[in-house]
Amino acid sequence: MGRLKGGANTADETAKISLPELQKLIAQADWRYSQAGLNAALRKDAFRRLTRLEAQRERLHGIPAPDRRPA
């Protein structure tokens, strides 16, 4: 996956940003995932970023990541 401009792309970069900024990045990734439409590659990349950011938020700030496994 390529690097996104203006965002945390590694665990070290994520650890350096504030919780409100991390929440903003998660919201952006969630929006990208929901708006990707039929483009499977974009959806997959957005989903990976979303779950990685949520896992980092859980690890750093103790906010549980939602269960995103299919039913």
Query: pLDDT band at residue 68, thresholds of 50, 70 and 90?
Result: confident
User: What whole-number percentage of the chain has pLDDT above 70?
Assistant: 89
Return the pLDDT at 22: 94
Contact predicate 29/68, CB 8 Å? no
- Is residue 3 over pLDDT 60? no
Query: pLDDT band at residue 4, thresholds of 50, 70 and 90?
Result: low
Question: Which residues contact residue 19 at a Cβ distance below 8 angstroms, ignoring those fewer than 6 apart?
Answer: 57, 61
Query: pLDDT band at residue 15, thresholds of 50, 70 and 90?
Result: confident
Query: pLDDT band at residue 38, thresholds of 50, 70 and 90?
Result: confident
